[in-house]
Amino acid sequence: MTVTIYDVAREAGVSMATVSRVVNNNPNVKPQTRKKVFEAIERLGYRPNAVARGLASKKTTTVGVVIPDISNAIFAEVARGIEDIANMYHYNIILCNADKRKDKEIRVINTLLEKQVDGLLFMGGAVTDEHIQAFNTSNVPIVLCATTDEKGTIPSVDIDHEAAAYDAVKQLLSEGHRRIAMISGTLQDPANGYARYQGYKRALEQAGLPVDDELVRIGNYKYESGMEAAQYFLGLSERPSAIFAANDEMAIGAIHAVQDAGLKVPADISVISVDNIRMASMVRPQLTTVAQPMYDIGAVAMRLLTKLMKKEAVENAKVVLPHELIVRQSVASV
Amino acid sequence: MTVTIYDVAREAGVSMATVSRVVNNNPNVKPQTRKKVFEAIERLGYRPNAVARGLASKKTTTVGVVIPDISNAIFAEVARGIEDIANMYHYNIILCNADKRKDKEIRVINTLLEKQVDGLLFMGGAVTDEHIQAFNTSNVPIVLCATTDEKGTIPSVDIDHEAAAYDAVKQLLSEGHRRIAMISGTLQDPANGYARYQGYKRALEQAGLPVDDELVRIGNYKYESGMEAAQYFLGLSERPSAIFAANDEMAIGAIHAVQDAGLKVPADISVISVDNIRMASMVRPQLTTVAQPMYDIGAVAMRLLTKLMKKEAVENAKVVLPHELIVRQSVASV
DNA sequence: CTGTTAGCGCTTTCAT
DNA sequence: ATGAAAGCGCTAACAG
């Protein structure tokens, strides 16, 4: 039925070892023999069995990627970065969606490990003790991607979310805003949601402004929750002059809520956020935001993982990539 | 180093076969024995090796999914549908991005086949003879997802793109529009781009309207190309009263180009398209579009594939799912 | 440069 | 209900 390396060997009149060498580009094969083998492969339509190879060599040239939410633009872009570098180093990728659910994340990590991936990339989301425990049962390298663990024990590539948020709010401040609301993500995630909130707080405090609970709403990073939060702010007796959203999608929701209420962005209310997804420049007004180098995060993380897999020395296993303010049209001075 | 089924067997004082039975939920094991084995597994931290299992059983419980572009909202949503059903049937997914490039698609198909996936889902894009040839070398089932082959020999799940486009243009017609432009995708893809163009043509012809080459621009499905096309239409001596875009993203680009030119949608120009990505309701005005059931396409395709993999009989291997006009605010009557 | 020979860790008859 | 043993298709010493 299926043609194996043994069939090829017979057809070419050589041993399996030689066929294996040819298939794996081992230079120790006479060109003529190589040719014979290739012809046999062609004739028989031989396709190497990666499973058998994996078992024999204890390497699968495959890395597992757990992605919290495949339909999230951020992660999709990070994944592109991962992909490109993986290709470059001849690794295949198993992308596993985890639905932003911790139990599924853990399950997926275990499945990936069972499949004997040579390394693991864990994207986004909070890294709990349970995660760390799952990671520890593995003897392949792991790098966190667009997230970090608090303990700082696991290699990771991320931006400084606190500083990114700080810079966004700072921009609002420098345009003269004093009453600045925030649409935050969950505060339960120290690496991301909480850090961005901390950045907001620090900027306000540093400017000598009070942190008013009334001006902070918790969203879920989705468009709709951005709208809701903005509607709430609009209903306040003394409404804010600017809104800082923890991510672009909520910011866009906020913009539309403001517009739907008959007000103008940025004339009446300024909006700024963090991420710089493609959509940020696909809305009117175009969104001013602090860009996160998503592609690079993926690329650098994958590069780091290749080093770890090859047991090369790495200087710095906690990479923090720079962020950058992108000024567009959603912020005006007051 | 790594603990194997043999270690567990020794620890539990049974044979490998028994451990294998326990791990695979084979009922032919005395409860007491089962318990002993589970304890040994726990104590040793045994994790089954899926590669070895795959080699021995010739099944990997893994299906390969080739996705043309992971950062495309449509495919991401289809992937969700695939994922959910795959989970339900205990299959794992290897998602492989193919960058919308044919050579990479072929390469990825081969890699997946080498990895001994139990089935293959091919998403989007044109299905050429080369694809079919690659498929034919495989002895696992394949289903096309959000695309079809012209020959109709490969199982597939898709919508009727021609009819969807027809319905969109028909809607414009029914609102009194007579000068209707189209922003098309590539005409090289018979399953999608060309089909949508054909739908546009049929609607016009049926209404007794000429198909004016001046009113058709080819884009690449991206926002920017939608903008460019719209700008071109705006520059025409006799500009169209409505634009039909082959997908939402180009439609949104068109809306913004119109707005940036100081005109209003839909007051001055109506815009309609096909897809209904999330963003369609995240723009102002919200986009009127013909919805494609993306999640369902993925789910149905995966379900079909499970049947094929289990060699169950399938009545209909060419599934066409219904589309639906979603009226929002981007079309006005003239 | 090429062949021989052990496994890799597991499933799966076939006995018992 | 359990065990023994033969592979699955390939790689990797080792020998020559």
Q: Does residue B247 register a pLDDT over 80?
A: yes
Per-residue confidence (pLDDT) for residue B292, from 0 to 100: 97
Residue B29: what residue type? V
Q: In angstroms, what separates the C-alpha of B192 from chain A's closest C-alpha?
A: 22
CA distance A232 to A215: 9
Give me the percent of chain A exceeding a pLDDT of 90.
Answer: 91
Average pLDDT over residues B39-48: 95
Nearest residue to A229 (alpha-carbon basis) of A260, A254, A197, A261: A254
Closest-lying nucleotide for B6 based on CA to C1':
C9
Q: Does residue A1 register a pLDDT over 80?
A: no
Read off the pLDDT band of B33 (50, 70, 90). very high
**CA-to-C1' span, A35 to D15 (A):** 25
Q: Do A185 and A147 form a contact (C-beta atoms < 8 A)?
A: no
Q: A51 to chain B: which residues are within 8 Å by CB?
A: 51, 54-55, 60, 115-116
Q: Does B110 touch chain A (CB under 8 A)?
A: yes
Give the containing element (helix H, strand E) for B305.
Answer: helix B294-309
Per-residue confidence (pLDDT) for residue B125, from 0 to 100: 83
Q: In angstroms, what separates the C-alpha of A193 from chain B's closest C-alpha?
A: 23
> Does A55 sit within 8 Å of B51, measured CB to CB?
yes
| Phi, psi (degrees; rounded to nearest 5) at A156 | -155, 160
Helices (H), B242-293: 248-260
Per-residue confidence (pLDDT) for residue B25, from 0 to 100: 92
Read off the pLDDT band of B152 (50, 70, 90). confident
Q: Does residue B1 register a pLDDT over 80?
A: no
CA distance B142 to B210: 41
Q: A88 to chain B: which residues are within 8 Å by CB?
A: none
Which bases of chain C are contacted by protein, using any atom under 7 A from a CB?
1-5, 7-13
Average pLDDT over residues A219-229: 96
Per-residue confidence (pLDDT) for residue A125, from 0 to 100: 84
Query: Which chain B residue lies closest to A49 (C-alpha atoms)?
Result: B114
Average pLDDT over residues B179-186: 96
DSSP string, B194-246: HHHHHHHHHHHHHTT----GGGEEE--SSHHHHHHHHHHHHTSSS--SEEEES
DSSP string, B2-42: ---HHHHHHHHTS-HHHHHHHHTT-S-S-HHHHHHHHHHHH
Q: Does residue A124 register a pLDDT over 90?
A: no
Average pLDDT over residues A30-41: 94
Residue nearest to nucleotide D5 (CA to C1'): B17
Q: Does residue A187 register a pLDDT over 80?
A: yes
Query: Which chain B residue lies closest to A44 (C-alpha atoms)?
Result: B137
**CA-to-C1' span, B64 to D1 (A):** 38
Read off the pLDDT band of B19 (50, 70, 90). very high
Q: Does B321 touch chain A (CB under 8 A)?
A: no
Per-residue confidence (pLDDT) for residue B150, from 0 to 100: 86
Which bases of chain D are contacted by protein, using any atom under 7 A from a CB?
1-5, 7-13
Closest-lying nucleotide for B16 based on CA to C1':
D3
CA distance B281 to B279: 5
**CA-to-C1' span, B87 to C14 (A):** 35
Per-residue confidence (pLDDT) for residue B121, from 0 to 100: 97
> The pTM is what?
0.93
Cβ-Cβ contacts under 8 Å between A and B: the total is 119
Residues of chain B numbered 182-221 and touching chain A (CB < 8 Å)? none
Residue nearest to nucleotide D2 (CA to C1'): B18
Residues of chain A numbered 16-45 and touching chain B (CB < 8 Å)? 45
Furthest C-alpha separation in chain B = 88
Facing residue for A71 by CB, picked from B76, B110, B139: B76
Average pLDDT over residues A182-187: 96
Candidates B69, B71, B104, B136, partner chain A, best to mutate (most A CBs within 10 A): B71
Q: Does residue A59 register a pLDDT over 90?
A: yes
Average pLDDT over residues B294-311: 97
Model confidence over A277-331: pLDDT tens digits? 999 999 999 999 999 999 999 999 999 999 999 999 898 999 999 999 999 999 9
CA distance B47 to A148: 26
**CA-to-C1' span, A5 to D9 (A):** 7
Model confidence over B54-79: pLDDT tens digits? 999 999 999 999 999 888 889 999 99
Average pLDDT over residues B304-308: 97
Residues of chain A numbered 255-284 and touching chain B (CB < 8 Å)? 256, 259-260, 278-279, 282-284
Average pLDDT over residues A76-91: 94
